[in-house]
Structure 1
Amino acid sequence: MKMIDCKWNKLTICQPQFHTQKMQVVLQDVDSAMQTPLKILKDDPTSTVVVVSVDDEPIVIKRSNTKGVLHGLRRLVCTSRAKKNWHYAKRLALANIKTFEPIAYVEDRFGPFKKRSYFICSLIKGIDALHFFSQINYQSQWEVVAQKIVELIQQLGDEHLSHRDLNLSNIILVKEQPYLIDLDSMRQYRWRLHANRATQHAVKRFMENWQDYPEISAQVAQIFTSHFQARGLLC
């Protein structure tokens, strides 16, 4: 069950357990709530992501920004990024794949046409994998965590899912367990063949990204390579 408020200029979806009086205030004017963040996680032409406090708990608000006129026109008829995050967070939960808990999403609309959207979710209190693998003091844990990330990628493929933007900064570690974030580009495949191809592409791109991480030693890349090869995900 979910709380739904559908108007000609706005669609609001919220999980009932989070639909408190204070949350309703946030949902009425999300931009205002974002003006006093506890922390800014990201702010660029694509999206703005902040941490705010609601009911004395930190939560994440992600606003999808418009990069230009063509991008804005395309977004009018496409599924909003907020709705994608909501849908795939629930899909991952069904598959026992760890991610954030979806709280609510809001779409600013003009009738059937979608404009700006907002996604609200729980804050994952952990360390991002990019920072984890760049710190030598975590070296004793690299092997175990790398294996769990490889298992996660394989599990996505088994579920016919692909993150499609998988990199170390989109993985948060909590007690050595990987959590996926940033589900904007995720896709579900109907056929196993397409899912397998997507997984192979994801692994290839994941490994090619090491050149963008000069702060991470070659040892980490070797660890991931060995685990991918052991599972037949990398030639």
Structure 2
Amino acid sequence: MSTTARLRDAGRHPPAPLSVQLDGEPLTIQQWLRVLPGKRLVGQGEWQDQRVLAKLFIATGAERHWQRESAGIQALQRAGQPTPDLLASGDLPGGGYYLLTEFLAGSQSLQQCWDQLADTGLGSPAATAILEEALQAIAAMHKQGLAQTDLHLGNFLQHEQQIYVIDGDAIEVTDPGKPLRQSAVKTNLALFFAQLEPQWDKQIDSLLQSYLVINPLPELDREQLNAAIRAERQRRLDDFLSKTLRDCSQFAVTKTFQRYSVVLRSEQEALAPLLADPDSVFTGIPLLKDGGSSTVTRATIGGRDVVIKRYNIKGLGHWLKRFWRPSRAWHSWLAGWRLSFLGIATPQPLAMIERRIGLLRREAWLITEYCPGQNLLEHLGEAGDAIPVKQTADAMLRTFKQLAEARISHGDFKATNLLWYDGRVVLIDLDAMQAHGNDAKWPKAWAKDRVRFVRNWPADSKLAMWLDDRLPR
């Protein structure tokens, strides 16, 4: 069997180390950095006594991607944009293609730099500096007629005080050597800004100054740019939510006639016993909730605490109402990931299981991280005789503002469904959460949430009056 065929068959676990003969010269892959099963592999290796980054294109019909990668790197080099040098490129023995570039030892992507920050909120000097570095590199590409169509911080490397652009496959060339048209600039910038939390929209004018220093433009239509950012954010959110329900690098999905399950791939091994028998944790330990429609418990799995919520079927009548539509576990799984995507704190969803008969749903389970926080009724006091301290006040108002901007209603805004943990307000119990978009029902749903939250405290209390005055209407 050829090396390419073996790599295709290996799926998500290609062998390493791996030696491949490239025109008589051995390439030794020591570590795989990214695996797209049966399509493309990216690894760190050694070739001709130097460290290289190797991309192996192993899918049938991969020639187009290989050619685009090579053409994109060459376009960046012609434009004077720093990018790792292209060292070799050609056919893999047994089918497929390879491409080798220099390995920038000690480099970090701007995404890695961002993830290491203690504060990525609006106005953070370190976060602002990272965004400005990215925008300067984007401006340099735009000035030369290039656009990175997979524009995110992970595609910029910081190495020895220099920013390098990577992923040649996503480089689009329009008119080499001439600046991009303003419409193309707007589209590409919207792609970049849409990946930031909406709070950063207030800083766009300031951030753009670093772009305009490199690529001076007539004034951008900010209204059009804002509309493009909103549209791109919605597209990214829709794409991500669909990804949470299919087998991919981040999620593992199993479908049979009798069940459907999805689990965060990084948690698949640790949660395997629980996925096999989710009811096993509901016996012998105290339950957090034992209601008719749902039962909730907490368990320690793989050395950490998780919460398991079982959505029960109370009888035939209840089943007839539920079997034909996605379960409440399915709904809560998507709701949790929606909040996570939008930067709104909620315990991370880890897995979801539906028991089925073909396409007909029965009981379902949702597994999430356990949040040890104190609920807001306890944190703020039931009497409501004092307004919250600044840290709590800012966090509460920010959470409500985020929900309002995203047009999300919780549906059951009891103070016990909001936890105070690590300086943030954490939302739980997402069964009734709805994302309204342009739905005319949104104002009524939001008003109901707002009233329900304020009603947690006596109407004449300082806290209730403070909330009624400050929460978004």
TM-score bin (small chain):
0.7 to 0.9
* CA contact 1:147–1:227 (8 Å) conserved in 2: no
Bigger share in helix: 1
* C-alpha separation in 1, matches of 2:319 and 2:402: 34
Which among 89, 94, 97 is matched to residue 336 of structure 2?
89
Q: TM-score, normalized by length of structure 2?
A: 0.44
Q: CA deviation at 1:28?
A: 1.0
Q: Specify the SS of the correspondent of 2:367.
A: strand
Which string of whole-angstrom CA distances, capped at 9 and with x for unpartnered residues, describes residues 81-130 of structure 1?
11111111111111110001011011010110000000000001210111
Whether the 8 Å CA contact 1:154–1:199 is kept in 2: the answer is: no
Give how far 1:10 is off: 0.8
In structure 1, C-alpha distance between the alignment counterparts of 2:394 and 2:444, rounded to whole Å: 21
Scaled by the length of structure 1, the TM-score of the pair is 0.85
- CA deviations on 1:31-85 (whole Å, 9 max, x unpaired) are 1122244x52111112111110110111000001224432221110121111111
CA distance in 1, matches of 2:382, 2:368: 28
CA contact (8 A) 1:153 1:199 kept: no
CA distance in 1, matches of 2:413, 2:320: 27
Could you say which structure has the larger radius of gyration? 2
State the distance in 2 between where 1:132 and 1:220 align.
12
Cα RMSD (Å): 2.4
Q: Does 1:223 align with 2:466?
A: yes
Rounded to whole Å, the distance in 2 between the matches of 1:26 and 1:99 is 21
Structure 1 distance, partners of 2:466, 2:423, is: 16
Q: Secondary structure, in 3 states, of the residue corresponding to 2:296? A: strand
Partner Cα distance (2:439, 2:404) in 1 = 8
Task: Establish whether residue 72 from structure 1 lines up as the match of residue 351 from structure 2.
Answer: no
2:274 corresponds to: 26
Residue segments in structure 2 that go unaligned for 5+ positions in a row: 1-249
- Where 2:288 maps in the other structure, the secondary structure is strand
CA contact (8 A) 1:146 1:223 kept: no
1:122 and 2:357 aligned = no
Counterpart residue type for residue 11 of structure 1: Y
Specify the alignment match of 1:199 in structure 2.
446
Most deviating of 46-55 and 151-160 = 151-160
Measure the CA separation in 2 of the matches of 1:57 and 1:40. Answer: 17
CA distance in 2, matches of 1:203, 1:67: 31
Counterpart position of 2:423: 176
- Change in CA separation of 1:192 and 1:117 when aligned onto 2, cut-off 3 Å: closer
In structure 2, distance between residues paired with 1:194 and 1:158? 15
Is this contact kept in 2: 1:163–1:187, CA < 8 A?
Answer: yes
Contact 1:89 1:183 in 2 (8 A): yes
Q: How far 1:198 moved relative to its partner?
A: 2.2
Alignment of 1:55-70 (within 5 A): 55-70=302-317
Q: Quick check: 2:252–2:263 contact (8 Å CA) kept in 1?
A: yes
Task: Kindly provide the CA deviation profile for residues 10-36 of structure 1, in whole angstroms up to 9, marking residues without a partner as x.
Answer: 11111111111x521111111112224
Aligned with 1:10 (options 259, 264, 280)? 259
Quote the offset at 1:143 in angstroms: 5.7
**Structure 1 residue matching 2:339: 3-state secondary structure:** helix
Aligned mates of 1:155, 1:217 — CA distance in 2: 27
What residue identity is the alignment partner of 1:58? D
Alignment-mate amino acid for residue 90 of structure 1 = W
Percent identity, please: 25
* Residue 105, structure 1, aligned to residue 356, structure 2: no
Structure 1, 169-178 or 146-155: larger mean CA deviation: 146-155
Q: Give SS of 1:103's match.
A: strand
Runs of 4+ more than 3 Å apart: 138-144, 208-211
